């Protein structure tokens, strides 16, 4: 079976993850594992949608009878504008889950992110967040709600400034990715998807800090490899992926998916710490 599709060639299915690039996505695997117990009629696929084609793609998928989509890089901010965000999505300022029938949307990244941090960090301190896109916006809001002090570094300073203006709470923009004193170093950028390195001053990081990359893959990202070399604890985006996927399915279908089955479906792909 084909792993992913262009949106104009989307097959008959109920749900999809949309983004660009999309071939790396593990969402079909975990959703398929969860949906196999929820009714065989639901199929979940990966579909490539370029950034400026979200509006026609959503229209097309709705016409084809899709019930919902998960939205990933680089579509999250446009998805907010093209849908009707619920209270949760408004609170986190970005959406990753859309119901196509009525175009309502929500954010399950925030909950999935919280799920993934449980038991890993004793108390919030300060966090260095890399990136200023839609993912960063949602996760900065979660961190602020949970009592973290936030430093944001972004490749393009202007975008960082516009994120700060948008967040509306105390966070600071920094010119250098200096993790001195940070308990959490969070990579929300899509640099890992390109195999690109980030200019983190790893030698200044505390050995008790957690380096967390929201991306995932069969090998640790450059960011996580650099962190490991500096002796830090690391976490990739798989636990958050499972958390947000389970929450999306609950929101669409009112079911409580089997998270263990979802995790098992990825076991053969995950790298071991």
Q: Which residues contact ligand ATR (rule: CB under 6 A)?
A: 73-74, 76-77, 131-136, 154-156, 159, 188-191, 194, 196, 198
Longest distance between any two alpha carbons in the chain, whole Å: 53
Distance CA 153, CA 60 (A): 37
Nearer to ligand ATR, 14 or 107 (CB): 107
Q: Is 76 a catalytic residue?
A: yes
Angle at 146 between CA 111 and CA 82, to 5 degrees: 45
Distance CA 249, CA 62 (A): 18
Which residue intervals of the chain are DSSP H helices? 27-35, 54-63, 76-81, 87-92, 109-117, 134-145, 157-167, 222-229, 238-253, 259-264
Which DSSP category does 64 fall into? T
**Catalytic position from the list 2, 51, 76, 260:** 76
> How far does Cα 202 stand from its chain's mean position?
24
Sign of the four-CA dihedral 149, 224, 270, 19: positive
Nearer to ligand ATR, 82 or 198 (CB): 198
Nearer to ligand ATR, 192 or 230 (CB): 192
Q: Which pair of structure tokens corresponds to residue 114?
A: 């919280």
What's the Cα-to-Cα distance from 242 to each of 147, 177, 182, 184, 256, rounded to whole Å?
24, 28, 26, 21, 13
Nearer to ligand ATR, 19 or 257 (CB): 19
Nearer to ligand ATR, 21 or 181 (CB): 21
Minimal distance in Å, beta carbon 79 to ligand ATR?
9
Q: Which residues are catalytic, by number?
A: 76
């Amino acid at each position: 079976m084909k792993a992913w599709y262009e949106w104009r060639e989307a097959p008959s299915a109920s749900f999809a993850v949309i983004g660009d690039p999309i071939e790396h996505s593990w969402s079909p695997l975990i959703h398929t594992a969860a949906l196999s117990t929820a009714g065989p009629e639901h199929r979940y696929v990966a579909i490539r949608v370029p950034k400026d084609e979200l509006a026609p793609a959503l229209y097309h998928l709705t016409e084809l009878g899709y019930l919902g989509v998960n939205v990933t890089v680089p579509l999250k901010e446009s998805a907010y504008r093209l849908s009707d965000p619920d209270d949760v999505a408004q609170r986190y300022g970005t959406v990753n889950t859309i119901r196509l029938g009525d175009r309502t949307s929500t954010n399950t990244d925030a909950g999935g992110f919280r799920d993934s941090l449980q038991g890993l960090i004793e108390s919030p301190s300060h966090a260095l967040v890399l990136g200023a896109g839609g993912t960063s916006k949602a996760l900065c809001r979660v961190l602020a709600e949970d009592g973290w002090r936030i430093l944001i570094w972004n490749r393009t300073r202007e975008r960082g400034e516009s994120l700060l203006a948008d967040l509306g709470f105390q966070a600071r923009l920094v010119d250098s990715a200096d993790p001195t004193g940070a308990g959490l170093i969070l990579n929300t950028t899509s640099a890992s998807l390109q195999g690109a390195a980030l200019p983190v001053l790893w030698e200044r990081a505390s050995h008790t800090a957690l380096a967390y990359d929201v991306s995932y893959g069969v090998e640790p990202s450059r960011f996580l490899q650099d962190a490991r070399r500096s002796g830090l604890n690391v976490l990739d985006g798989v636990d958050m992926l499972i958390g947000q996927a389970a929450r999306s399915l609950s929101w669409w279908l009112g079911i409580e998916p089997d998270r263990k089955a979802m995790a098992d479906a990825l076991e053969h792909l995950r790298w071991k710490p």
